[in-house]
Amino acid sequence: MSDAPMGTKEPFIRISKRTSIGKCRAWSIRIIALLLSLIVSGLIIYAIVRMSPVKVYVSMFEGAFGTTRRAWITVRDTMMLLCIGVGLAPAFRMRFWNIGAEGQILAGGIAAAACMIYFGAVLSGPALILVMVITSIAAGAVWGLIPAVFKARWGTNETLFTLMMNYVAIQLTGYCVSLWENPFGSNSVGIINQQTKAGWLPSMFGQSYGLNVVIVLALAIGMYIYMKYSKHGYEIAVVGSSENTARYAGINVRRVYLRTMAISGAVCGIAGFLAVSGASHTISTSTAGGRGFTAIIVAWLAKFNTIVMIMISLLLVFLEKGAVEIASRYNLNAYASSIITGIILFFILGSEFFINYRIRFRSGKKEKEVAAE
């Protein structure tokens, strides 16, 4: 660009792709973006409730971690979000836009709930849970495989396909809810096996959500190793960067699509199992509750690194719980958390640009230097 012909003006801003950026620098850009977004959200909250932004964040902290019970619920929800994010990571790494986590969670949840209802009295505790895990995994995997089959065979657009599968799953859940409703006419399934607690995940460390944490963290670490050090993980990365390269290198792209989506759906199915067996002990159309969408953002922002996802999930859940706290103090509704989440994500998404690209302004200085020489 510098050897532009005479008479053409040099553009005011020049953008070029960075070849590399230090980890430290990249993270400082992200943290600046995060701080900026917190300031903006703080100002918005101030404008609405006239509460000092610092106080806002203090009471948000109390909302998320104020009591042991609250802290555990925050941890439980973080693990849930993390689990879904872990499930999405390999699919996204492969550039397969799995927007269908919501549906895959519900498929897993329906399977788990069905086992609890139909086998609750037949099977003993551990056997029942084993059956539930297996059916949930299978259901999630099937739900993920359906779009993958069509993508692999005919190149059907997976973003739109998986999106539609969510709503099919939601209606299917609605169907199951009215099938299993208890008590009759309540239009909800109620707590399943409330007396016998059959199919409920046992408590661990004296905490009813302890086992959730162990399972999800194991999944996260396992997925990290799978994606980073296994042959499969390497194939996923190659297909993700360039399908043609992958084909040239002799990778069976179709098989990678199918295998990865089965894994992705299966992990989301486990998330559904955890939601039913390890948390709510019921099933409803809001069992997934939009977390399938939020987790996409978690996976993307973490750059598919499942360890980084822990922090991002925690941040998002913290915001949600905090906003609920503020909303209830001021008698407002809790949707404020979505506004704040949205703003923060906008800023972080925008900050990626400054990590990937270098910006130079047309400066008078450079020209002067040239003239001085």
Partner 1 sequence: MTQIIALFSAAIVFGTVILFGATGEILTEKSGNLNLGVPGIMYLGGIAGLVGAFFYESSAADPLPWVGVAVSLICSLAAAMLGGLIYSFLTITLRANQNVTGLTLTIFGSGVANFFGGSLQKLAGGVGQISVATTSSGYREVTGLADLGTVGNLLFSYGFLTYAAIVIAIAVSYFLKHTRSGLNLRAVGENPATADAAGINVTKNKYLATCIGAGISGLGGLYFVMDYTEGTWSNDGSIERLGWLAVALVIFAMWKSDKAIWGSYLFGVLFWMFLYLPGLTRASLELCKMLPYVVTIIVLIVVSMRKKRENQPPASLGLAYFREER
Shortest distance, position 203 Cβ to partner 1, whole Å:
33
Considering only 157, 242, 245, 328, the residue that binds partner 1 (CB under 8 A) is 157
Coil, helix or strand at residue 207: strand
Residues that bind partner 1 (rule: CB under 8 A) add up to a total of 54
Shortest distance, position 309 Cβ to partner 1, whole Å:
14
Helix, strand, coil percentages for the chain (3-state, nearest 5): 70, 5, 25
In the Cβ-directed half-sphere of 121, how many Cα atoms lie within 13 Å? 3
Binding mask 252-291 for partner 1 (x = CB under 8 A): --------------------------------------x-
Q: What tokens were used for 165? A: 């599968």
Q: At what angle do helices 306-329 and 210-229 cross, to 10 degrees?
A: 140
According to the binding rule CB under 8 A, does residue 190 interact with partner 1? no
The Cα-based distances of 46 to 40, 56, 326 in angstroms read: 10, 8, 11
The Cα-based distances of 50 to 38, 42, 248, 318, 319 in angstroms read: 16, 10, 61, 22, 19
Shortest distance, position 301 Cβ to partner 1, whole Å:
8
According to the binding rule CB under 8 A, does residue 186 interact with partner 1? no
- Nearer to partner 1 by C-beta: 62 or 352? 352
Binding mask 11-30 for partner 1 (x = CB under 8 A): ----xxx-------------
Binding mask 68-97 for partner 1 (x = CB under 8 A): -----------------------------x
Q: What tokens were used for 269? A: 């199915």
CB neighbour class for 168 (10 Å; exposed up to 12, middle 13-18, buried from 19): middle
According to the binding rule CB under 8 A, does residue 43 interact with partner 1? no
Q: What is the DSSP letter of 100?
A: T
Given CA atoms 100, 104, 107, 109 in this order, what sign does their dihedral have?
Answer: negative
- Nearer to partner 1 by C-beta: 222 or 290? 290
- Nearer to partner 1 by C-beta: 51 or 164? 164
Coil, helix or strand at residue 63: helix
Residues contacting 132, CB < 8 A, separation 6+: 111, 112, 115, 116, 199, 273, 277
Q: What is the DSSP letter of 5?
A: P
Kindly identify the residues of this chain, within the stretch 333-352, that bind partner 1 according to CB under 8 A.
333, 335-343, 345-346, 349-350, 352
- Nearer to partner 1 by C-beta: 133 or 165? 165
Binding site for partner 1 (CB under 8 A): 15-17, 48, 97, 99, 150, 154-157, 159-161, 163-168, 171-172, 174-175, 177-179, 187, 290, 293-294, 296-297, 300, 331-333, 335-343, 345-346, 349-350, 352-353, 356-357
